[in-house]
A and B are shown apart, each in its own frame.
Chain A
Amino acid sequence: METLTDQNWLLSVGVFLPLVGVLVMMFIPRDDESTHKTIGIVTAGATLVIGLITLLNFDYDQSEKLQFFVDAEWIPVINSNYTVGLDGISLPLYVLSMAVTFLVMIYTWDNMPDAGNPKAFYMLMLVLQTGMAGTFVAQDLILFFVFFEVVLLPMYFMIGVWGGENRKYASLKFFLYTMFGSAFMLVAFLALFFQTDAVSFGFAHLVDAGASVDRDVQIWIFAGMFLGFAVKVPMFPFHTWLPDAHTQAPTQGSVILAAILLKLGTYGFVRIAIPMLPEGAKAWAPVIGILAVIGIIYGALGCLAQTDMKRLIAFSSVAHMGFVMLGIATLTEFGINAAIFGMVAHGLITGMLFFLAGSVKHRYHTLEIKRLSGMLVQAPRLGWILGFSAMASLGLPGLAGFWGEFPVILSAYNPNFGLSEELFRTLMVIAAVGTVLAAAYLLWLYQRTAFGEPSDEFTSGHGSSDGDGAHHGATPQPVGAAVNDDADHGDEIYDVTPIEWVAWTPFLVFIVVFGVYPQLMFQVIDPAVTDMVARLGETLGP
């Protein structure tokens, strides 16, 4: 595979710069909270700048090739190299991971979870960032695995230390579940390594050599990888860690989890499992497709049964990632392109929704849907943003979510490489029904929380101090009192704060930008995907 090696320091700097911040923070006493916050934000900002420089220096005419390519000796004993590179598939996710971390850190400035200790929190986020960015640029299986696992620990602590009431259970479940998958994945990696004569763990080599592995062996190896990645995605029926982890995680953890961590799994499919094991992928594609569509419907039904806003959003992730996986399962350029677009779009939209859930929790001290009402009256901008995000999430054209959904549905009509058309067309129709259900649960959520009059317990002029929105017996505000959007509604329920605007605006802007002009992203992804599918075609035939 041809590679470009210009300016190849960029990726290593981008990946490891956050660790420098961690190092600096180690030497600063824990009590100095704002210094820690500043250092964390500055480091993430600098990393984002590196990411933007990468973005600027990326050669968009050759986005199918690996750029900024580094191939250095790392662990010669096992033929594993420090190989990093970036192509059109990784680029959007790589930059997204940096941007999201940075914005989450800004958000944390005055939304620190209750457990406190910003030093540890920011350090964990920076470590997390290294892991995420590294996963997207690694071009060597062992390196990939290391980064993939590096992500796990900070997230475990974020949930376990700063999480909700049931955090211990949730974090342990998250950790063990993912480790369970990773174990199989590692075995699969090693099996692939030895099946290809134990020459190298490099992606390029394995893509070339993997295709010649015996078909049955490919299927078994794919099964291992499937377990590892499917848990991470998460696909039905490996999704049960997700609602718990999301519900218990602090807002920041939920956002990063939804925006980036889930993509590690889908990215693994696109980058590793499918190109390296074409025959295995073909054999598994119907299974993936069926599970994906079950996930779509099932996630949506799960949403309809929720009473907790955050848990509902978590379940919607299962449905949305179902679309992504359906796109991947078709093995078509169309589907995989849309899947990658869908990953980024889902990252932005669901990340935004989790931010909102966090802010709602912060204001109302509850996320129970039936207790929330009239958000548009009390916090109109928050309500509008919720509406906007809900619309984006249900796949309204003109917003980013559509481009991850519509082409996927389209692609399922015509799967590649002789996959069963009957099956995939059935899946297409069911997935299309899934979009209706998505509209149902999101609008239901919106109607319940944003429309109507604010409920009594939150309309008392002065916020209750016991943290549970106690009933003060205040009369509900008459409609007329809400004439002015900017009216003061008491201490408890306030509208979007400046820090929140700073953290959210990029999300909102990019949801619109990518929705209105999707070519921005498609032109980067498409050549790389087309190239990949063409190579699949060499093995699998037309």
Chain B
Amino acid sequence: MMLAADAAQLSSGWFLENAWLIALIPAIGFGLIIAFGKKMPMKGSEIGLLSMAASTVLASGAAVQWIQRTDSADKGGEEAVGLIQAFGRSVPTVSEGGEVEPFIEPVVSTWVWWQNSGLEFGIGSSVDGLAILLLWLVAFISLLVQVFSLDYVRGDRRYTHFFAALTLFSAGMLVMVMAENMVQLILGWEIMGLCSFMLIGHWWEEYPNARAALKAFFTVRVGDVGLLVGTAIIFFGANQWAVDNLDSNGFNIAAIQAWALSGEGSHILLLMGAIALFIACIGKSGQFPLHTWLPDAMAGPTPVSSLLHSSTMVVAGVFLVARIYPVFWQGFNIDNGGLSFIAVIGGITIVIAALLAFVQDDIKKVLAYSTVSQLGYMMLGLGTGAWLPAVFHIFTHAFFKCCLFLCAGSISHSASHHSFDMKKDMGGLRKKMPFTFAAWIVSTLALAGIFPFAGFWSKDEIIDNVGNNGYDFLLIVGFGGAALTAMYMTRATYLTFFGEPRGAAAGLHDHDDFDDTHAEEHEMELLTVGAPEGPTAEEAAADAPRSLSAATNTDHHDDHHDDHHDDHHDDHHAEPHESGPLLLIPILVLAFLATISGFANATPLGEEWESIKKYVEPRPVEVPIEDYLAQGAGESLQLVMPTATGDALTADDGAKVCGFETPAAGTVCFFPAVTHAVPKLSKILAATATVVIAFAVAIAFNVAYYGRRNKHLVGLTERSRTLRGGYLFLKNKYYLDALYENVIVRWVAHPIAKAAYWMNQKIIDATVDGVGKSTRRTGQWVYDNIDQKVVDGAVNGSGFVASETGHGLQPVQSGKVSQYGALLFGAAAVGAIVLVIVNVS
């Protein structure tokens, strides 16, 4: 049954082979904007737009060709049928048809980037389904957000820099997504961090923005320690194996995947590597306990929040886990149903972030915590073996969350006078901004997971698979999180679009003609962590009394952080109105995608709907090494279709499954055989019911609380000690910021650094100075006692002698030539005599 060797060839194509252009074009675009942007008619934004459009086109082309490649492989694969039997808990591998699906090799183009100890490391593009998915997603969303920004930041004093940074960000993310090796991945990862820093701090004149930028960069950087250490561990674990077997090196991602599943790496090594790398993901993807930077990052302009801090950059951590999934699979024993670190962190994050979203008054912060929570879902999925739904959730989440942020931007731009405070400046906007409202509602339903919107297909699939893989408790967490999501989104929606217009939304520009105060929520100010420049609670109360919550958020700067660029607008004091087309088009496109993108992988509808699974999920099959090597990095792209060899199948009767057993000799696996839950109507109904009930409860509560001001509910947090305690706990964000900033940072920055410096100055340097001083003192003593008295005495003595001799001889200097002549000749005579005597003897 030696079928594989002459099996079909995979199709490739120009777009796949030149996928590196997708990242290179924005990178060049960035350079052009920096160099010439200010002189361009549109201040450089056209370069950014063009480069993102080009990337989108190229990414789309690559996606089409990837689909063709997969199809061509599958057609060939049908002839090379082998039977793999189920092993493990459920139906592993892609066994619906009882066929072995062929492994689709990534299309790789690389160049030598650096070398060390004789090994050459590459940079380039390695395009597989996951990469394609994200390449297209990032390019497309970047394009939309740049279109949105055209109008949104118009007139900003750093308009050009804004587009430059956005474009550089896209380049960095695309570099990371197509990374062929870990170093390239780190490159993209850090470029994104830099852009995040630049964009959050876009309005750096104000201290809080600069501070938020610093916090974001620094927090992520703390996580990056794990990235460096983890890469080192994995490199040295995998390197020798990769050199020996795959003619590759320990940075290569494919080699790392294969090594992790080869069974030759020690488990402890994999575990350490996985933990270290996951710490980086915690930082980047805003997981508990390093999530605190993400809400603060909302200080940046809204397009930045929508692009970087919701849809693309923050999923980098999720992407990293998905990318080298075998390491985590083996390291955390996901194959054996072990309760992984990833799943636990993901689960915690879902709940704590969702709870925090309830106490935010800033609409962007609600969305930020929602993002954190949804990232928790993705991590939960990856941590429990639900790879595909997690990746799918990246895809759908990008659309609806980006849309929600852009809606928030649209509101602040056109209705609320650049405020994001829902309680002070919003309310009743549904009639004034019908399109924005519609997009918001669609996206909210998608986020909450209502059929048939996008989130339903991805999030419920995660929850379903979590349950299917045997994690019962996490299943409940998932359900709870879904219910919470529905509730806080209801609250945000109600406050923004329903009820009476307030503040700016009511067309008011000054806040000093109200009287009614709600003092019950002032306590939240007790432990303000930062914002030294913000007004005190009392001032805020005096300023904005009629708002539903008198005290504004602890980070006061949010109230005004988008109002820098409005110098050229005449309309911002006008009545709330619908936004212009440049703002609305991206919103509506995203809303449309939020509606339909779920059908890209609508598992419950049957196999033919599972395109993401077919085209994105790597096939867990054993690939003969020589077939893999035949491809060669960047060389021949005409591939021999590898599949499970007949040998392996006949020998073991098909019991070998990637990720559960070591692959047969001469073969490697690149992806573990994750299980896929079979959708059941009952589960779907349960999930939907949960969300619907949550919606109903939340709507009822919101209407009662905010609309009717029900006296049993209002002031509840003041009356009940327990509730107030909980409220304060949430309001202060679990005191994590206090811990980091007041305890850790203050300790490092102040006493420890001071102590170290003190030690430097007072001990080490003082030692040096002391040595110097004592040397000088010794010198002084020597000088006084020995030098002056003994040595100098001798010197003075000799000087005296010389002087006296001179005086004695002075008469000789008579000035008489004849005496001189006599002396000369006398001396010569003496010299001659001496010479004679010496020479004689």
Contact = CB atoms under 8 A, between A and B. Distances in A.
A241 to B, nearest CB: 8
Contact of A523 (B115, B222, B235): B115
B117 A334 contact: yes
Interface string B471-485: 000000000000000
Nearest to B765: A240
A304 B758 CA distance: 12
Contact of B117 (A239, A332, A452): A332
B233 A413 contact: yes
B489 to A, nearest CB: 35
A396 to B, nearest CB: 5
Given A439-B218, A453-B205, A413 B753 contact: no
Interface in B147-192: 157, 183, 186-187, 189-191
B118 A452 contact: no
A175 B772 CA distance: 12
B187 A397 contact: yes
Contact of A483 (B118, B157, B229): B157
A333 B764 contact: no
Contacts of A391: 194
A506 interface: no
B228 A451 contact: no
Contact of B757 (A301, A374, A480, A483): A301
Contacts of A433: 225
Contacts of B214: 443-444, 447
A436 B218 contact: yes
B232 interface: yes
Interface string A295-324: 000100111111000000000000000000
Contacts of A376: 204
A522 B114 contact: yes
A443 B228 CA distance: 20
Nearest to B222: A436
A114 B197 CA distance: 38
B116 A435 contact: no
Contacts of B187: 397-398
Nearest to A391: B194
A457 interface: no
A42 interface: no
Contacts of A177: 768
A403 interface: yes
Contact of A432 (B211, B213, B225, B235): B225
Contact of A397 (B190, B222, B232, B756): B190
A240 B201 CA distance: 36
Interface stretch (A76-84, A349-357, A404-412): A404-412
Interface string B744-788: 000011001110111010001100100010000000000000000
A173 B773 CA distance: 12
A421 to B, nearest CB: 10
A303 B748 CA distance: 12
A452 B757 contact: no
Given A302-B757, A333-B116, A451-B210, A173 B221 contact: no
Contacts of B116: 333-334, 337-338, 407, 522, 526
A36 to B, nearest CB: 36
A413 B228 CA distance: 11
Interface string B191-233: 1001001000100111100110110011001101100110111
Given A435-B225, A451-B204, A479-B564, A301 B765 contact: no
Contacts of A12: none
Contact of A435 (B157, B210, B228, B758): B228
B740 interface: no
A176 B768 CA distance: 11
A519 B115 contact: yes
Nearest to A406: B228
Interface string A420-464: 000000001100110111011001100100111100000000000
Contacts of A453: 205
Contacts of B232: 409-410, 412-413, 428
B112 interface: yes
B118 A526 contact: yes
A305 B753 contact: yes
Interface string A466-481: 0000000000000110
Interface in A201-249: 237, 239-241
A452 B233 contact: no
A504 B215 CA distance: 30
Interface in A316-367: 332-334, 337-338
B27 to A, nearest CB: 9
A231 to B, nearest CB: 11
Contact of A480 (B113, B228, B567): B567
B79 to A, nearest CB: 43
Contacts of A501: none
A240 B118 CA distance: 38
A402 B232 CA distance: 14
Contacts of B157: 482-485
B236 interface: yes
A397 B757 CA distance: 29
A244 to B, nearest CB: 8
A412 to B, nearest CB: 8
A35 to B, nearest CB: 37
Contacts of B221: 435-436, 439
Contacts of A117: none
B608 to A, nearest CB: 43
B764 A304 contact: no
A306 B757 contact: yes
A440 B118 contact: no
Contacts of A447: 204, 210-211, 213-214
A439 B190 contact: no
Contact of B756 (A298, A398, A451, A517): A298
B754 A305 contact: yes
Nearest to A530: B118
A377 interface: yes
Interface hub of B748, B752, B768 (most chain A Cβ within 10 A): B768
A518 interface: yes
A304 B753 contact: yes
Nearest to B198: A387
A483 B768 CA distance: 51
B760 A398 contact: no
B490 to A, nearest CB: 38
A453 B233 CA distance: 45
Nearest to B111: A519
Contacts of B749: 304, 440, 444
Contact of A337 (B117, B204, B567): B117
Contact of A409 (B190, B228, B567): B228
B114 A429 contact: no
B121 to A, nearest CB: 9
A450 B749 CA distance: 20
A414 interface: yes
B210 A452 contact: yes
Contact of A526 (B113, B117, B204, B206): B117
Contacts of A237: 764
Contacts of A432: 225, 228-229
Interface hub of B218, B233, B756, B772 (most chain A Cβ within 10 A): B756
Contacts of B757: 301-302, 305-306
Contacts of B748: 301, 304, 437, 440
Given A304-B748, A306-B757, A444-B214, A333 B205 contact: no
7 nearest A-B pairs in the assembled complex, by CB-CB distance: A333-B117, A305-B757, A304-B753, A301-B756, A451-B204, A451-B210, A397-B187
15 contacts: A240-B768, A301-B748, A301-B757, A334-B117, A376-B204, A391-B194, A396-B194, A406-B183, A433-B225, A436-B221, A447-B213, A451-B204, A452-B204, A518-B113, A523-B115
Given A409-B229, A435-B224, 11 more contacts: A332-B117, A406-B183, A406-B228, A412-B232, A436-B221, A444-B214, A479-B205, A479-B564, A482-B157, A485-B157, A529-B117
